[in-house]
Amino acid sequence: MPLDVTSTIALQSSARRSADRAVALWLFGMCAMLLVMVSLGGATRLTGSGLSIMEWAPLMGALPPLSEAEWQRLYGLYQKIPQYALVNQGFGLTGFKHIFWLEWGHRLWGRLIGLAFLGPLIWFAVRGAIDWRLARRLGVLFLLGGLQGGIGWFMVASGFAADSTTVSPYRLVIHLAMALTLYAAIFWTALTLWREGPGRPAPPVHQVTGLRPLIALTCASVALTIIAGGFVAGLRAGLTYNSFPLMDGTLVPAGYGQLHPFIRNLTENIAAVQFDHRLLATATGLLALATAIVGLSSGTTGRLRTTLLALGATVLGQYALGVATLLWIVPVALGTAHQAMAVLVLTAALAAMHTQTSTAMTVKETRRTARL
């Protein structure tokens, strides 16, 4: 091959690599913004701030109240819902402003995420930094992000019903599940763009028998545990049975299966929901630690070793946070940290899964090249 052609190909490959890295960094930044969003969502839930804004105004809602008359109008709307009458009656305009600003900040951050996603997406597309397949995938994720805003309002509106002081646990879990789906998809895409590309030296390959299924099972278990935690949050189940490891002196709380049909207990019975979350968290923690031990004891190196260490560390930290949050009866700071750490555990599990998947793909490519 002529030297000038080889140089051109090398320059094109380098430019493509630089573009991929730039897009990956942007997407990692989006993941950081989503992590903050999940944390803000936890804080609004724990403080009861989520119902303080009774209007859904995607555009004009970005502006806070600019006059005393507007503050009084919004406060008057809030005084009409059950949460005010049953929980916050008489806390005055000052108390209302306290919960309003947190919810307003949560919604504003969501709008900023949309702008931070759409602007660079258009810029990268115009400059040719992303191909049509990636552009299509990111476009779908942007639309899902918009849908998430609608789901958020669908959730909030459930808290305006008669005799209701909180949002529907089912709608809260849908909102949480969509947030996790968006986060996982964006994070996975960023990792794919960041990893070694075609023509680059392959990373060291170290296959461990059975490790990939273990990591996949851990990812699924982490996601299921977080969803179960959503029902704990929705029912405020963490405010009862504040002892560990027993619940009111027993392993399985009395009244675990008191609702009929039985399946309702999994999502509507406070005792059952908290017990199930404890059980899932313990099983997930043990599974994640076993996965990390299997991988690390087999001599894994490089990115896989790093991700397995991160998985073990985040799981231990999350379990300790969960117990502390329960024993201290869900203080806002600990509850918010517990929700944020759950996303970090999922991040570590996804990173380990992606690394192992990439390794498997590298092995296949190496074997195929050897046969040729």
d(CA 275, CA 269): 10
pLDDT of residue 196: 57
SS3 content of the chain, % helix, strand, coil (to 5): 75, 0, 20
Last residue of a domain, one of 126, 151, 168: 168
Do residues 321 and 222 share a domain? yes
DSSP secondary structure code for residue 309 in this structure: H
pLDDT of residue 57: 86
pTM of the predicted protein model = 0.92
Do residues 351 and 226 share a domain? yes
d(CA 318, CA 9): 47
Do residues 222 and 324 share a domain? yes
**Residue 247 backbone dihedrals phi, psi, to 5 degrees:** -115, 105
By CB atoms closer than 10 A (0-12, 13-18, 19+), residue 142 is: middle
The model's pLDDT over 278-294, given as tens digits with 9 standing for 90+, comes to 999 999 999 999 999 99
d(CA 63, CA 120): 24
Last residue of a domain, one of 126, 149, 168: 168
Q: What is the mean pLDDT of residues 171-195?
A: 96
pLDDT of residue 163: 81
Higher pLDDT, 152 or 203: 152
Q: How many domains does the chain have?
A: 2
Chain-centroid distance, C-alpha 28? 13
Range of the domain at 319: 202-372
Q: Is residue 261 part of a domain?
A: yes
> Are the C-beta atoms of residues 179 and 342 closer than 8 Å to each other?
no
Q: Is residue 349 part of a domain?
A: yes
pLDDT of residue 3: 53
Q: What is the mean pLDDT of residues 92-97?
A: 96
pLDDT of residue 158: 95
Map tokens 């996303």 to a residue: 343
Is a pLDDT exceeding 50 seen at residue 204? yes
pLDDT of residue 341: 98
Last residue of a domain, one of 122, 152, 168: 168
pLDDT of residue 9: 55
Higher pLDDT, 76 or 197: 76
Is a pLDDT exceeding 60 seen at residue 360? no
Mean pLDDT of the chain: 90
Map tokens 């000052």 to a residue: 94
d(CA 256, CA 51): 30
- Kindly report which listed range (93-97, 106-110, 198-202, 345-349) carries the lowest average pLDDT score: 198-202
Q: Is residue 62 part of a domain?
A: yes
Is a pLDDT exceeding 90 seen at residue 339? yes
Q: Residue 342: which of 309, 305, 314 has the closest Cα? A: 314
Residue 17 three-state SS? helix
Strand partners, 250: 247
Q: Is residue 212 part of a domain?
A: yes
Do residues 210 and 330 share a domain? yes
d(CA 98, CA 199): 56
Q: Is residue 173 part of a domain?
A: no
Q: Is residue 6 part of a domain?
A: no
